[in-house]
Structure 1
Amino acid sequence: MSFRIKPSLRLVLFPLLLAASSLFAQTSKPDAKPSKEVVQYLTDLQQIIKKNALYADSIDWAQLRKQVKEKSQGMATVAECQPVIDHIMSTLRNAGDKHSHFYPRIEAATLTSPSYAGQPAESRYLGDGVGYIKIPEFTSMEASVGQTFAQSIQRQLAALQTQYPLTGWVVDLRQNTGGNMNPMIAGLQTLLGEGIYAYDVTPRRTLMKGLPRYHWSEKEPQPSAGAAAATPQRIAILIDSLTASSGEMVAISLMGRDNARVFGQPSAGYTTANQDFKLSDGAYLLLAAGYRMDRTRKPYLHNIMPDVVVEYSPKDTPDKTIEAAQRWLQEAK
């Protein structure tokens, strides 16, 4: 699973940090040792990062442990630990990791809520045998919500395939800032083709795991396939500078297949593969533990460069990126 915090979530986090700092100022006793609960919690967090993080070898662990010990003095409860957790995550970022995130318990609860008000996928027929599907960000981790989102994409693909004699697709991932990759992938499964669609490489475990066509978290029910659309001859993938994290992962899952091409602007560069860890208080650590390779085993360590770079179209003007994709799709006829 791969995540990137969108600006609204950062705004939610800010008051939480203030609250945590205020609580620390009111209840901590700087001259006292931290409680056993605090020591264990912070030790567990550091061990998870040291064992699994892609950038773990770039951290001075002896120095970090010393800093954590100093900063946690007088803390009695896990609720007071946020300033120390912020320091640990800042150390990880300074080591080169810009993708990992820590979700405090309250914020993590919103990710698993059955209520989700995100944007739905949108589809339409572009004419000349070309179908269009726009996949937005999807930030929920709730299984039933993810299933509904995936099934909506599947139904839209099947409906267009039924109504029109399609020879190609435009998959628009522009402004998809990420979230939960699995529902996006499951929704697009009829466009992925057969077999392995990507690989997750986890260097610290010397593991390369192939992701099969119907990849879905074991914790989540697999959505029904619906009417299977015939795999089209060509797929145009649209990206821009806001295509990030899971948005980039979806693009990579389609890349490398026969007759797929990427149009637009370079992506944001959050292509590390995140692994989620639930902590004892209900908080979540989404940790960059590896990187992604497409089905041809081409690695993506930074951003995705389009095959065809297209300049941004001003507002209320024809979409040059879609136009370029359509021209390429028509070449097959």
Structure 2
Amino acid sequence: MKKILIMVFLFITLKSFSNKMLKTERDSIKVYVQNALNMIKKRAVNSSKMNWDEIYLDAEQKTDQVKTIRETYPIIKEVLERLGDSHSKFFPPEMVEAYVKGYRATGQSFPEIEAKILENRYAYISLPAFYSYNMNEWREFVNDFRSALSKLAAEKPKGWILDLRDNEGGMFAPMFAAISPLIDQPDAIGWVNGNGKNIFFNFKDDKLFENKRAVYMIKLDPQKIKIKSTNLAVLINEKTASSGEFAAICFAGQKNTTIVGNKTNGLTSANQEHKLSDGAFLVLTEGITIDRNLKRYEKLGEGLIGDVKVGKLTGNTEKDTQLYLEKAYQVLEKKMER
């Protein structure tokens, strides 16, 4: 009888412990979803357009049906889709981990920067898309680009061509740090947040600033970049998207600069990433991109319109590149005649 009572006691104790564990796990799942929704509600630029009472209730009901945090991902993704900004995204932990590891650790080719002198007088340099979240690779990318700029500047070119075609985006911070020697003033690119505040990017003393707040440090190699000719042609196409578009907008309205191309892709909303407890990322559209003249780029799909159009392209990479370059040469020649 005593043994039976002990077994019954152990069974009740284990069941109670199991129930407590299950409740703790379920509570953590609910907290995870709650935190994600709170972040979206607080930071997303389209938050005010949402019926949050309905969203929280719907998410709570769906969360009651799942057993793991991973099963909540579709719930969060659905809320992001309802924002309607076409730019907010959810990245699961394994994808974030791959970005943090970088290109080489995941067996990918590191983005190549093409730099050369054309027509014996023009400095040409390309800025490719860059998707790594590895800080060592950020530093390598920025230093490679700036080193190429320094070598080109030493040739004393009569004008510059910055090629942003096919740059589909990625991490804007290293791109901005790379091209900053070509930008002629502070506060050339920024965004208006949900509260109507203007926030501008600037890069100085190895730090990327959002207004006066330093958000990233990218330690650069000491090198002198003396750009004497400020005549610049920036090449864009419809594959210039997201962070690639932000790079192009940096030069909108810059003196002696011409944007060559029909238009960019039109994903010009300003995004910020936020890490969740399991390592996943919420990337939220938190503002409307603005240029140095406070022009807003808020209409989805409109993008940045070129100053000089290239017309209908052939679809042949070599022929289309030549078409762009000829337009750039014409633009730069006119600038030199002034």
With normalisation by structure 1, the TM-score equals 0.84
SS in 2 for 1:307: coil
Q: Could you tell me which of 201, 204, 215 is aligned with 1:211? A: 201
**Bigger mean CA deviation after superposition, 278-287 or 297-306:** 297-306
Matching of residue 322 in structure 1 with residue 313 in structure 2: no
Where does residue 310 of structure 1 map in the other structure? 310
1:109-148 aligned at under 5 Å gives the runs: 109-116=97-104, 117-148=109-140
Residue 240 of structure 1: how far off its partner (Å): 0.8
1:7-22 aligned at under 5 Å gives the runs: none
Where does residue 11 of structure 1 map in the other structure? none
Structure 1: gaps (5+ residues): 1-31
Measure, in 2, the Cα distance between the counterparts of 1:91 and 1:72: 18
Please tell me the root mean square deviation across aligned C-alpha atoms, in Å. 2.0
Q: Tell me if the contact between 1:196 and 1:213 (Cα under 8 Å) persists in the aligned partners.
A: no
Matching of residue 296 in structure 1 with residue 284 in structure 2: no
Q: Tell me if the contact between 2:45 and 2:287 (Cα under 8 Å) persists in the aligned partners.
A: yes
Structure 1 residues 98 and 323 mapped into 2: Cα distance closer, same or farther (>3 Å)?
same
Q: Could you tell me which of 144, 149, 167 is aligned with 2:141? A: 149
Measure, in 2, the Cα distance between the counterparts of 1:300 and 1:143: 29
Q: Could you tell me which of 101, 105, 108 is aligned with 2:93? A: 105
Residue 33 of structure 1: how far off its partner (Å): 11
Q: Percent identity?
A: 27
Where does residue 18 of structure 1 map in the other structure? none
Measure, in 2, the Cα distance between the counterparts of 1:195 and 1:65: 41
With normalisation by structure 2, the TM-score equals 0.83
Q: Tell me if the contact between 1:193 and 1:231 (Cα under 8 Å) persists in the aligned partners.
A: no
Specify which structure has the bigger relative contact order, considering alpha-carbon pairs within 8 angstroms and separated by 6 or more residues.
Answer: 1
Where does residue 332 of structure 1 map in the other structure? 335
Encode CA deviations 1:227-247: one digit per residue, 9 max, x unaligned: 213153211111111110100
Where does residue 24 of structure 1 map in the other structure? none
Residue 209 of structure 1: how far off its partner (Å): 1.7
Matching of residue 199 in structure 1 with residue 193 in structure 2: no
Radius of gyration: which is bigger?
A: 2
Encode CA deviations 1:139-188: one digit per residue, 9 max, x unaligned: 011111111001000011111111x2212111111110000011111111
Q: Tell me if the contact between 1:235 and 1:260 (Cα under 8 Å) persists in the aligned partners.
A: yes
Measure, in 2, the Cα distance between the counterparts of 1:147 and 1:332: 34
Residue 332 of structure 1: how far off its partner (Å): 2.0
Q: Tell me if the contact between 2:290 and 2:296 (Cα under 8 Å) persists in the aligned partners.
A: yes
Q: Tell me if the contact between 2:80 and 2:89 (Cα under 8 Å) persists in the aligned partners.
A: yes
1:163-178 aligned at under 5 Å gives the runs: 164-178=155-169
Q: Tell me if the contact between 2:102 and 2:133 (Cα under 8 Å) persists in the aligned partners.
A: no
**Bigger mean CA deviation after superposition, 141-150 or 55-64:** 55-64
Structure 2: gaps (5+ residues): 1-22, 209-213
Where does residue 26 of structure 1 map in the other structure? none
